[in-house]
Amino acid sequence: RKEVEQDPGPFNVPEGATVAFNCTYSNSASQSFFWYRQDCRKEPKLLMSVYSSGNEDGRFTAQLNRASQYISLLIRDSKLSDSATYLCVVLGPSSASKIIFGSGTRLSIRP
């Protein structure tokens, strides 16, 4: 089983729609979680951190479910510019843990 798993997609949704992705992780002791966005042939860029209480940044909402070991990303009122690959990122339990990326979920917003 992969340490971090995501549905690869692609998700193809119309502009203005709401779309949600999940990401599961295998290590129950993982301590930090992030969503990164990656455009084609570019480097990943931090979209948002994921906090236990859930957090929102504009149209984006991230949530963590420790009991079921998944994190989610919700995008409301999607824009054409949201088209990208969204990477789930997990930091392990100790200060010496490495950062693990999921394979990414591709999102395509159509006009």
Partner 1 sequence: DTGVSQNPRHKITKRGQNVTFRCDPISEHNRLYWYRQTLGQGPEFLTYFQNEAQLEKSRLLSDRFSAERPKGSFSTLEIQRTEQGDSAMYLCASSRFDRDGNTIYFGEGSWLTVV
70 touches partner 1 by CB under 8 A: no
35 touches partner 1 by CB under 8 A: no
Q: Which is nearer to partner 1, 67 or 96 (CB)?
A: 96
Instruction: Tell me which of 8, 14, 16, 93 binds partner 1, using CB under 8 A.
Output: 8
Show contacts with partner 1 in window 38-57 (CB under 8 A). Answer: 41-46, 49
How crowded is residue 25: how many other Cβ atoms within 10 Å of its Cβ? Answer: 22
Buried b (16+ CB within 10 A) or exposed e, 72-111: bbebeebeeebbbbbbbbbbbeeeeeeebbbebbbbebee
Tell me phi and psi for residue 33, to 5 degrees: -140, 145
| Binding residues vs partner 1 (CB under 8 A) | 4, 6, 8, 32, 34, 41-46, 49, 87, 91, 95-96, 98-104
